[in-house]
Structure 1
């Protein structure tokens, strides 16, 4: 008879294994950070190191933290005397590390690496192809800036406030800029003050063929855009594009994590991110700060949309070097999973000047989180610009005759697949014939991708919907999702949420542990999801109690947007 840990497939964990994996991720955070801090201390003066995927601790682009959690899980099971028959992984370095571990302890556990030669070659090919494509993107943005330069808006006299933001292909509608990040912020400024606010954009999911049109729209918008492409030189692009050759020289040996020599994992991670576009973009941001200083522009304040990613490191390091007297605020206008490890700065990052002077969070309940690994970090509470409308009460409620569930899929397909695999098993259950499942794909998902994945798509109680999330939520009594900010938005509206746990890695649950479990559940399998739906459908809290919990969440995590709070955020009060 086999137990729940006889075979461990790291890409397809059973519920008990997945629950243990998530528990371990909370235990090893500090240990893992200590390893990265040690590596950083050896490379503290290298901007190339600070913009690397390893140094960023970003779990969405680096598997290193997840792999360390997997190692610790194996050590925990062995320490508890649990017999392990087979471990299946998709990393040659992880397989090598585990084999050494089992061999050193005289254990007969088998380690299978399910990565064939063809898949390894495909990965290498994608990395190599990514480099010339990045060269092409840099060239296209450089040329687009030159072709539209005649529309360039001259910087006014006086000191500027620059606002870091992201621009998408659909960020302009009928020539007007749609601000998704600092919604309504400029409404509280005088015309003279607005002239001193300049956005510095980072392009996100923008196709090369759209660059020229996007540059033209930014130059002719009523808002001010300060484009780094107007100041960067060819030597700056060369510097960024030669990053892979400098990063390849990083040396690693005898790197230990909880008794494991993880040097093979570090080297594998370095190889996987050697052509990272975000690292090269980060170096351009560093040089942009230098060129801006050389141009004679004076800066009053810098606001960084701060996720502590490589692009943030490059920008913050550059501005702190070339504008040492200018205050930098890192704005975190969102609530995300604590497993987004890199979001939380460390003492070493503060000491080396690669983070802002101050971090501004969107609610008082997030102050402690921000200081988790850096107790001396200056943290303030800023308006939750993106969520100003959350304070409005729900405008519509579904009919009492039915029960509708909104399944909001996150951007990362792996997380979306976790949701769909379990939801697919429940949708066809006879107990839920009176339940309508509203499936909302993420805007970045390719057309037909979700429909092709979902076996129950033809059932009458399944509807695919699009549009603004707030409008979709008005139709639902329950949300099923994970990772996304929409989970907390939904709770703040007094609507229950079910988080689907990951079976292939870390669960990215954005809901803080202190929020009452009366309004949310974490489910790893069909049975748990079915039980949660039945609870909220038949035995959930009264509406008044749900709304009271929602009001408490609003108070703790979403600072109201007012004239006073907006102006204080911009240091105008």
Structure 2
């Protein structure tokens, strides 16, 4: 009798750490199931088409780092494949609903699967997140109401324009997301355009106060001035109203995922986004009730929960208002939510027109909705690319982090392995604003502190003097590295890491992909010794990045 091989699959780990045979199958299924998954989410969304409570919950968000439904589908489909390969499978997991689905499936199909349940120890975390979200929204509301002078919108003016943005330390003096647009408005003396900031939850309230005060000096329009305490209460009570969607749902293939959907619907993990999405909707409603006329709005469009509340509100109460969704970032296929679906268009939870920062992204944005209206607009944040500069290579290796913690820690682990074997090499690390240096805990950083330099310089300034850049995951650093003539090495951490640059038709001579620390070591040694220069042609850059002119800027404010 042939002895079965054993596979130990720990579902608490990230997919990149799965056993190789499982990881390969999982990655392929993740890519192959994208359309099926989006179509299924569209189907189950039909009963909630006009319901704000549905759209500001996790399942219809399709956000891969917030909602885990697509991931769990890929796990189940991978299990189905691997169970046919005559393995004895041991699965470690910490989620009861997923355990129940796998147990019933394996029993019904007579599969040799051993399930090991490890209970989570974070039962108070979700309540902390919930209370923190409520406290933060209440604090922002009270501070602005009592200490910030209200910016009034002239009710007699019919062509008012609102621009949705996010407030941060980097945007206190000048607008960051729509870089240069505020200067353009001042230069052209355009006074009917209002930036409307959303504040990001943080623990340092003094810093939050400072951000509010400085944005007030910029004459931003604070939506809190147009909200009431009743609106806040309504947003906080979403957790009660959403229970109406705890029910049986249409199967995905043969999988009954109703329990997983219900678990996510009641999840409090992204409750701040839910509150913000609801308040965006109520903001639009209150403007309408106060007879304030809005001719156009621009949504910073990541197609997240917050955006769905904004778009549903303005498109419901201002149906004749022109709506633009500006995607001022580059293409990240990992974010399945960035590409709108057919039903999202029907439900009007997305803007009428999507603006992308380069010609290369237009077709890709239509992945799930071929009739989506997509236009090319200026790549406002990336205009440095069009400026002349002298390429230097004073930085041998630059590690660009994405802000997604597990990916960043994995990248640090790979690159520090190389440093340990090459004591004469220094590594410059560029962190992401959402995950600063202080939040990254890795003992290798301390052990190799003489070889590692953390930089606060702007990424474009670093890339101008970098020979080799390393990055992975959803970051503009991949495309920017190539645009600034750095050789790019991509450690494959997620299914789309290999595919992004292929879809953008970027020649392979500008980059390489690696799958483990030894391949990275070989690739780094080879390219450190290579003194050839591969300069990207301007025609390709012009497809990836649209230059800014006054005529193009008028698309936001006319």
In structure 1, how many angstroms separate the alpha carbons of the residues matched to 2:4 and 2:468?
A: 35
Residues of 1 paired with 2:485 and 2:75: CA distance?
36
> Map of 1:153-552 to 2, 5 A cutoff?
153-156=151-154, 157-158=156-157, 159-172=159-172, 177-189=173-185, 193-206=189-202, 207-221=204-218, 224-253=219-248, 255-273=250-268, 276-398=271-393, 404-429=396-421, 432-445=422-435, 447-450=437-440, 452-454=442-444, 457-458=447-448, 460-482=450-472, 483-502=474-493, 510-513=500-503, 514-539=505-530, 542-543=532-533, 545-548=534-537, 551-552=538-539
Shift of 1:449: 4.5
| 1:29 is the counterpart of 2:15 | no
1:68 aligns with one of 67, 73, 77: 73
Gaps of 5+ in 1: none
Say if 1:102 and 1:109, in contact at 8 Å, map to a contact too. yes
Aligned counterpart, 1:94:
98
Residue pair 2:174, 2:182 contacting (<8 A) in 1 also: no
CA apart distance, 1:467 = 2.5
Instruction: Decide whether the 8 Å contact of 1:18 with 1:501 is kept in 2.
Output: no
Q: TM-score, normalised by structure 1?
A: 0.89
Question: 1: CA distance between counterparts of 2:3 and 2:191?
Answer: 69
Q: For the residues of structure 2 that align with 1:468 and 1:83, how far apart are their CA atoms? A: 50
Does the 8 Å CA contact 2:4/2:88 hold for their aligned counterparts? no
Contact 1:411 1:445 in 2 (8 A): yes
**Equivalent of residue 52 in structure 1, options 57, 69, 84:** 57
Residues in 1 aligned to 2:161 and 2:270: alpha-carbon distance in whole angstroms:
32
With over 3 angstroms needed to count, the CA separation of the structure-2 counterparts of 1:328 and 1:394, relative to structure 1, is: same
Contact residue 56 and residue 306 of structure 2 kept, 8 A: yes
Alignment CA distance shift 1:449-1:161 (3 Å) = closer
Distance 1:509 1:163, change over 3 A: farther
Structure 1 pair 20–479 and aligned structure 2 pair: CA distance change class (3 A): farther
Residue 216 to residue 443, structure 1, CA distance change in 2 (3 Å):
closer
Instruction: Evaluate the alpha carbon distance shift between residue 448 and residue 348 of structure 1 in structure 2; reply closer, same or farther with a 3 A threshold.
Output: closer
Between 280-289 and 4-13, report the one with greater CA deviation: 4-13
The DSSP-based 3-state class of the residue aligned with 1:252 is: coil
Quote the residue 2:543 is aligned against.
Answer: 556
User: Who is 2:7 aligned against?
Assistant: 6
Q: Deviations over 1:224-281 (max 9, x none)?
A: 4111111101111111110000112212325422322222322222232476111111
Post-superposition offset of 1:139: 1.9
Aligned length: 548
Matches of 1:525 and 1:56 in 2, distance apart? 32
Distance in 2 separating the partners of 1:208 and 1:242: 24
Cα gap change, 1:126/1:456 in structure 2, threshold over 3 Å: closer, same or farther? closer
Cα distance in structure 1, aligned partners of 2:225 and 2:283:
9
- CA deviations 1:142-193 (Å, max 9, x no partner) are 22122234x3333345221111111014432xxxx22211111244446565
Q: Distance in 2 between matches of 1:481 and 1:529?
A: 12
Distance, in Å, in 1 between the alignment partners of 2:548 and 2:213 is: 31
TM-score scaled by length of structure 2: 0.91
Aligned Cα root-mean-square deviation (Å): 2.6
- Provide closer, same or farther for how the CA distance between residues 417 and 16 of structure 1 changes in structure 2, counting only shifts above 3 A: farther
User: 1: distance between equivalents of 2:493 and 2:429?
Assistant: 19
Q: Deviations over 1:478-508 (max 9, x none)?
A: 11122211221111112122223338x9869
When residues 524 and 268 of structure 1 are mapped into structure 2, their CA distance, relative to the original with a 3 A threshold, is farther
Quick one: which of 106, 111, 118 aligns to 1:107? 111
Asked if 2 retains the 8 angstrom alpha-carbon contact of 1:441 and 1:450, the reply is no
